[in-house]
């Protein structure tokens, strides 16, 4: 693996760490948990991509793939919750 590839993976990991830490802080700052979950899911997706990209063994690639799938699921779930109609409908159905 070349040094240039490892440098790109390091940059990807730093951006993922920034998103993973910044997501909950964004939610606390603006009061929007949906946006925080989107940022957190995007960070997990980035971290998984970096792990998948720089890993040399099967275990590391499995961790990267798992992080990518969970990050994508979190982003889709958060996107559904941030839709105005979806959250209202779910809250109304819980009150019954």
At 52-69, the pLDDT tens digits run 887 888 888 898 899 899
What is the percent of the chain where pLDDT is above 70?
A: 77
More confident residue, 12 or 93: 12
- Domain residue ranges in the chain: 3-95
More confident residue, 63 or 10: 63
pLDDT above 80: residue 95: no
Asked whether 50 and 13 are in contact (CB, 8 A), the reply is yes
């Amino acid at each position: 693996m070349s040094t240039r590839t490892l440098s790109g993976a390091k940059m990807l990991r730093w951006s993922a760490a920034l998103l993973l830490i910044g997501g909950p802080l964004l939610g606390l700052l603006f009061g929007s948990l949906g946006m925080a979950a989107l940022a957190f899911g995007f960070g997990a997706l980035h971290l998984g991509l970096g792990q998948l990209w720089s890993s040399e063994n099967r275990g590391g690639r499995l961790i990267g793939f798992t992080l990518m799938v969970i990050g994508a699921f979190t982003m889709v779930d958060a996107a559904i919750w941030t839709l105005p109609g979806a959250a209202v409908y779910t809250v109304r159905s819980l009150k019954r």
